[in-house]
Amino acid sequence: MHQPNKRCPWCGSDPLYVHYHDTIWGRPEHDDQALFEKLCLDGQQAGLSWITILRKQDTYRKAYAGFDPLKIVRFTEQDQARLLENPGIIRNRLKVQSIIRNARSYLALQEQGIGFSTFLWQFVNHQPIQNHWRSLEDVPVTTPESEAMSKALKKAGFNFVGPTIVYAFMQATGMVNDHLVSCPVHQECQDLST
């Protein structure tokens, strides 16, 4: 039985993770570039824990020009080689290349007059889905919405955007409120969506 007002257990006691849980995760994000950064970082997480990427977030920002897609698309082979030598990021060729590819896809959407936030939020009808989970076991890893978003992102040229990664992204950016009902942040996120 959960005690009332108890933080979601997945963040444990690591101060960085607790801060992320309390101030970022589940809060609706609508800024195009912030959403781009988060989607790219979630793709970097594939096969790893989120805390690993969270600890490297500042290094990623420096390595990838503040996640400015206009700068990232100009990265050369030499830039990619430099990234693969950077111990502050995940040195996986496919993951390094995915951020560059995703920047191209992001800009291609822009050129079509499609804002990234609008493109993503359409999968939840531009309104956060309010879930009321009582335990972590209740929380799904994919949903029909994450599968639809994943399919659309892949069609638009993005990669490392499978339905599980996309659902984690949706949770983090407040497209779904998956804080447990026993968590005080659940109500905060719900209030932000009205």
**DSSP code per residue over the chain:** -PPTT---GGGTT-HHHHHHHHHTTTS----HHHHHHHHHHHHHHTTS-HHHHHHHHHHHHHHTGGG-HHHHTT--HHHHHHHHT-TTS---HHHHHHHHHHHHHHHHHHHTT--HHHHHHGGGTTS-EE---SSGGGS-S--HHHHHHHHHHHHTT--S--HHHHHHHHHHTTSEE-S-TTSHHHHHHHHHT-
CA distances from 20 to 23, 24, 49 (A): 5, 5, 14
* Span 19-51, pLDDT tens digits: 999 999 999 999 999 999 999 999 999 889 999
For residue 88, with 0-12 CB atoms within 10 Å meaning exposed, 13-18 middle and 19 or more buried, which class applies? middle
Q: The CATH number of 29-192 is which of 3.40.50.300, 1.10.340.30, 1.20.1260.10, 2.40.40.20? A: 1.10.340.30
Q: Is the pLDDT of residue 4 over 70?
A: no
* CB contact at 8 A, 180 and 135: yes
> In 3D, which of 37, 40, 50 has the Cα closest to residue 8?
50
State yes or no: pLDDT of 113 exceeds 60.
yes
Confidence at residue 5, expressed as pLDDT on a 0 to 100 scale: 67
pLDDT of the residue at 193: 80
Q: How confident is the model at residue 2 (pLDDT cuts 50, 70, 90)?
A: very low
User: What is residue 46's predicted lDDT score, i.e. its pLDDT?
Assistant: 87
Burial of 76 (0-12, 13-18, 19+ CB in 10 A): exposed
Cα–Cα distance for residue pair 86/75, rounded to 1 Å: 15
What's the predicted TM-score (pTM) here?
0.94
